[in-house]
Structure 1
């Protein structure tokens, strides 16, 4: 199967909303929450993790457009599977940079008033990495069995 741009976009949105949403709900309570006295880290951690997930979703759509452009220069117009895994580096780094620069909208009041503690980096790192790896493993393995239509129709969900 050669996923189409439309199929990759649909798959990314579906997987981040469904799997990302479920994993974020389950993993947020066990993430290191940084400094409890800092506004934005006390009881609003779910909001923070879901805003970051939404940021990953929006930026992911833009990344897919860029990846599609780059793929046009490749002979088979597709990525090797490993490229899909290592894009965690550039996508995660961009989201973290935007957090550091205070450019992620929707964060709780006072979130950007302090420097982000190093424990928040580890919370981000664990959350982002777990979601990424679960989604990558699912789409490159078990998803192809029950969703035969997805597999043979360019990765389209609908």
Structure 2
């Protein structure tokens, strides 16, 4: 499947606000009960991701087969995670104070949360999503 930009946005939105939200809720329960910070991080991962998808879509058009292999997804995930952690650490975001990761254990929690959300959404997209939403697979990643 070769995602189109609208398909990328729909897919990112769908998986982050279903699978990602469920994983975020469970992670927040594991760390001292529900905590808004995990949901705020998920929101910013989604928001910045919409912008990154424009870049990824452009890069994908440069490839002869216009494909975006799983290795590229892994690399993009690492880049997005580093980017958002640096923004939170050095600049801050509305609702997330600057230097948050200076507190004991908060960077570890971010890494655990980010990694779990990504793994669950990645494996969802590689398996169940393709089986349950065949339209998605054959229409450029569009959900509707």
TM-score (norm 2): 0.91
Deviation per CA, 1:43-65, whole angstroms, max 9, x where unpaired? 7x621111111000000001100
Of 13-22 and 78-87, more deviation after overlay is shown by 78-87
Deviation per CA, 1:60-96, whole angstroms, max 9, x where unpaired? 0011001111112111122112211232210000110
Aligned to 2:5: 5
Q: Does 1:70 align with 2:56?
A: no
Q: Does 1:144 align with 2:123?
A: no
Distance in 2 of aligned mates of 1:25 and 1:74: 38
Aligned to 2:113: 127
* Alignment RMSD: 1.9
What's the offset of the Cα at 1:115? 6.2
Of 139-148 and 113-122, more deviation after overlay is shown by 113-122
What's the offset of the Cα at 1:102? 3.2
Q: Is the 2:8–2:53 Cα contact (8 Å) retained in structure 1?
A: yes
Please state which structure has a larger fraction of its residues in helix.
2
Q: Is the 1:85–1:136 Cα contact (8 Å) retained in structure 2?
A: no
Summarize the Cα distance change of 1:68–1:113 in structure 2 as closer, same or farther, 3 Å threshold.
closer
TM-score (norm 1): 0.83
Q: Is the 2:8–2:142 Cα contact (8 Å) retained in structure 1?
A: yes
Structure number with greater CO (CA < 8 Å, separation at least 6) is: 1
User: Which is higher, the Rg of structure 1 or of structure 2?
Assistant: 1
Aligned to 1:38: none
Give ranges in structure 2 of 5+ residues lacking alignment. none
